[in-house]
Structure 1
Amino acid sequence: MTDKKTIYITGGTKGIGYGVAEILLKNGYAVAFSGRKEEDVKRAEEQLSQISEDVLGVVSDVKNFEDEVNAAKKAVEKFGRVDSVIANAGLGVFKPVDQLSLDDWNSMIDTNLTGIFHTLKAFVEELKKSEGYYISISSLAGTNFFESGAGYNASKFGAVGFTQAAMIDLRKYNIKAVTIMPGSVSTHFNGNEPSEKDAWKIQPEDLGDVIMNVFNMNPRALTSKIEIRPTRPNS
């Protein structure tokens, strides 16, 4: 149990999710996070616990609703509460539509779109109690289509639409639904290995700062959709 506000983050073992977890822990929040692989969850939990002992790693694949139900149960068992949820887990496969396989399509839709529904569905009753935030991490690809992006665009356009409609459904409970749409972020996404070459990109901790700004707003005001991009593109 804790008196700290508790945040649950999907895809928290690396990249955006991990960077957001770091910022939240440093600002006095308790954090539960999930990842698909047990070894990654254990590694991230050990690293994050050096910032604060109020951290919990859970193995969960957002494609499986029961995994998220279990994550909600474990978070409440440890912390006694879940104040806000950040649906961050995602993946991308970038191929021309005629070369996109059924597995490619299904993996993106099941993770990037169905996954954020599973997370909300599993945690919504806790959010009704806390009157907190449901934040989905979408992408500028959720409003800007591009070559070889048909599957990814579809999943992220869907994520934006889902979260914005959920915002309208849930605000009567004082749940504040927000979608954040980053441009290029320095992560391991799509096989990238972050290095100095990515210094021009948004950094994961930058998105942590954005989320802190959202949390610090007066609850009567809601920033329901946020676009964020690098100040200057790589040239």
Structure 2
Amino acid sequence: MSKYQGHFISNHPEPLMKEDVLPNKGVIVDKADHSFYIEDASGSGAYIFLGVVFSAIAIYPLYKYNLKEGGILYVLFIILLLISLFMIFYGIFANKEYKKVILDRMNGTITYPDSFFRKPLKGKFKDLKVIISISGGDGYSTKEYLKFVNTFSPRLVDSLKTVSYDDPYQHWSFMVWYMDKNRPLPPGTAFDEYRQQDFERRKADRFPKPLYPSNISTPEATPEQQKERERFWKEW
């Protein structure tokens, strides 16, 4: 496990395109505008699919090979079957509204899923503890994951919430950029129709300094807007 990630923009995030947001099909982003970014983190379809697959794997040998009741293999396959049935039940009946990552840009809060049927966790984004978890063996790594630490309701025994299976630095940079309400919205056509309104809001506040640092440039959508912002900053 690595140390906590700082709240800064380290990488250019992948642009969020309009096609990546509902009502388009096959997407996980429910909403993306100048106030909220909402991502579906339920994975209900995956739980149901894996539950059905594992159920078949568990049931087949029980009948095919007539395993002796009470034997080790019999017990193992029964346990696998019970786990599979729970996965199906969870995928169907878990509250989908509890299984969303919600970034509230204006209020600076984040809401994200807790484990299983628990209500979601919510708190200030600036307080959120995040790590980049590395999987692999001695001397090599195979994959990096962005994970949330249970910051807002810690328990004695707790688990990390995996947020991204893609580039974790890009994903975290996107979140920090979006949650910095003093910066322009992140890149991508999904935000284009909200950029002018967001620009006017920041202009009315005399373009306050960014909330979080950045290793990359985060310019305005147009050169004209960029010049206007820079003119305000030179007057300070």
TM-score by length of 2: 0.26
Higher helix share: 1
TM-score by length of 1: 0.26
Task: Tell which structure's C-alpha radius of gyration is larger.
Answer: 2
